[in-house]
Structure 1
């Protein structure tokens, strides 16, 4: 088993243990209303929201600019991009 798999299993076991130990109902005040919910439901909802936000924030971003394609398109018709002054300096 890889280290990543072991870490995932350990975190899952710990999370399940914490959730199962907090099943009693408690009063939550949401905007001016008292709601009685199980801690299990609240912890699971917060965990799910955190996971979704983590996936959204952690995904790779799209490249805004493709410099190589821009350069190729810019000099597509003219393969020799040196000026006369540059050619004189090189020679």
Structure 2
């Protein structure tokens, strides 16, 4: 399929006309779109502020877990 597109065509790139083979234009657009897709789909790194906030949230959640286990034995018997 690509070998059928070997004839040259005129492409206007940045307002300048260029005569290149269609296969070269298709290949360059395909490769650049693939690389752009990889860059866009990468997971973002957490900033230092976001890391500190998540550590604070972990500390708060850990503290809350300890507080919920303050039932007396009588209360546990009553609930169950």
Question: Does TM, scored on the shorter chain, surpass 0.5?
Answer: yes
In the TM superposition, residue 28 of structure 1 has moved relative to its aligned partner by 1.5
Q: Which residue of 1 aligns with 2:56?
A: 70
Structure 1 residues not aligned, in runs of 5+: 1-17, 75-79, 82-91
In the TM superposition, residue 72 of structure 1 has moved relative to its aligned partner by 5.6
Over the aligned positions, Cα root-mean-square deviation in angstroms equals 3.9
In the TM superposition, residue 63 of structure 1 has moved relative to its aligned partner by 3.3
Give the alignment's TM-score, normalised by structure 2. 0.56
Q: Which has the larger radius of gyration?
A: 2
In the TM superposition, residue 34 of structure 1 has moved relative to its aligned partner by 2.4
Aligned to 2:40, which of 54, 57, 67? 57
Give the alignment's TM-score, normalised by structure 1. 0.51
